[in-house]
Chains A and B, each alone.
Chain A
Amino acid sequence: MSTEVNVKEKFTFWQALGHIDRRIIYLVLAIVVIVPLIVPLKLMKDVSPRAREVFAAIDNLKDTGKPLMISVDFDPASLPELYPMLISMIRHAFARNIKVMVLGLWPNGTGLGQQALKQAAEEFSKQEGADYVFLGYKAGVDAVILGMGENIKAVFPKDGNGRALDSLPMMTGIRKLADIGLIVSLSAGTPGYADWLLYAQSRYKARLAAGSTAVQAADAYPYLQTGQLTGLLAGMKGAAEYEFMVFQHGFSKAKMTAAPAMDPQSLAHLAIILLVIIGNIGFFADRRRGKA
């Protein structure tokens, strides 16, 4: 399928299906992505139980009074999948008056966390230090998580803007990970949700949910079955589901980015399935010719 047409070799129609020029494939994919973005089909209708679990876990923090901690464990390369999760979760928390803490284990993603906090805080008129805290980035991954299990202020004596954590009203009564209601790792690789599982969940029994890139999602499912993860948002679909729920509950009327992307996503998947079938027909036609 990926090889270019060999003009010297003569193919039957069925064999040619297995030798489609890769540029035609790129063109087909570009069309099935662009057209539904311009002319929306509104295919997004339902939400998976896994996404509902994450939503409920954050929503229930309202009753406990404990804060939500979001770890931005991705960089701009995974922005389309994970940033909509990040901003939707912050909007959800702010709409329910839940305190939010944001930190990053990836240096290149920390700024995205700050940007999302700032944007949502403006929408909901929230005060930094009183309603939310941006912890910033600290190198060391395992040592950072283990350290926060004992004392958050020892690892982050100051927030991302250089203010002492002790001086921030929101941090009163928050000493270690056990004081956090739910940790959500938005993860694009290593370090990511796996590190939070190893140290925060396993050792300090912290409640953990994950939002992951689709590539990682299959690896994360076993931890749902055992209850180590409270919920999972898988890839752009998970982001779209969360956005959809926040919108549906009336918590935010902001423009959605992941939910409209489900139209091109669905059509692109359909195109890929067709191409896989076509490629297989070509493969078998080739094999048959070889035997003849």
Chain B
Amino acid sequence: MSIMHILLSWQMVGALLTFFIFSFLFRDNPFYKFAEHLYVGISLGYTIALTWYSTVWPDLFQPLFFSPASQVAVGQKLLLVIPLLFGLMYFTAFIPKVGWVMRVPMGFIMGWGMGVWIPATVQTTLIKQIQGSLLTPTMLTKWHLLLFGLISLVGVICSVIYFFFSREHKGAFKVASETGIIFLMVGFGASFGYTVMSRMSLLIGRFQFLLRDWLGVIH
């Protein structure tokens, strides 16, 4: 790889921006600020453009204003007026006198969201997880399944007891509560370990980019 190829390439831009971001490890500086703002600006601009061309234009503006009645029926067009109005209501946030109007679409979104989200969440994260914590006849077929099932059951009960504040933690209750702390700490440890792995992965990814894509030192 020639020096000119390295200097006049998109990889060079990527490498420079990587160094700008890494410079924050030393201290905050204008190069870091530049790269940070560039990233935020590009991300936001890209999101706006993509959302417009993939959703707002083809699903709202085009059928509502630019499609003949032979393609989109009048009834469908009238239905599209509702999301258009709701969308416009958000812009009242910029006019203090009528800013309250924004609550209408927000209320709709919250109502719809909660209605959809609550039953799905109860089913997915509560009922299914309670079922998963129970000892089932299948677990009795192999000793390791039974062992893991028991650990899981004890862990769930003790962790829930730790967060039970309506009774003083004394006697057996205290033992269970403190056992719950051990399970919680193991959980936090696992999360921290995975977080370290994640952060290291990002660092490795950057070094792979610098050494392979930019400098061509590794293959």
Contact = CB atoms under 8 A, between A and B. Distances in A.
A214 interface: yes
Query: Interface on chain A toward B: helix, strand, loop, or mixed SS?
Result: helix
B124 A38 contact: no
A37 B201 CA distance: 13
Interface string A133-153: 000111110100010000000
Interface in A26-40: 26, 29-30, 33-34, 37-38
Contacts of B51: 107, 137, 139
B123 interface: yes
A226 B54 contact: no
Query: Interface on chain B toward A: helix, strand, loop, or mixed SS?
Result: helix
B204 A137 contact: no
Interface stretch (A8-16, A92-100, A199-207, A244-252): A199-207
Question: Which range holds the interface residue count of chain B?
Answer: 35 or more
A108 B194 contact: no
A38 B196 contact: no
A26 B25 contact: yes
Given A34-B207, A80-B205, A218-B190, A107 B46 contact: yes
Given A80-B201, A222-B132, A198 B124 contact: yes
A261 B204 contact: yes
A198 B197 contact: no
B83 to A, nearest CB: 11
Question: Which range holds the interface residue count of chain A?
Answer: 35 or more
A71 interface: no
Interface in A191-219: 197-199, 201-203, 213-215, 217-219
Interface stretch (B112-120, B157-165, B176-184): B112-120
Contacts of B116: 142, 146, 199
Contacts of B47: 107-108
A26 B187 CA distance: 27
A130 interface: no
A50 interface: no
21 contacts: A23-B25, A33-B200, A37-B207, A37-B208, A38-B211, A80-B202, A80-B204, A107-B47, A108-B43, A108-B47, A137-B51, A140-B55, A198-B117, A202-B120, A215-B194, A217-B194, A234-B194, A261-B205, A264-B200, A268-B200, A269-B197
Interface of B: 25-26, 43, 46-47, 50-51, 54-56, 58, 113, 116-117, 120-121, 123-124, 128-129, 131-132, 152, 187, 190-191, 194-198, 200-208, 211, 217-219
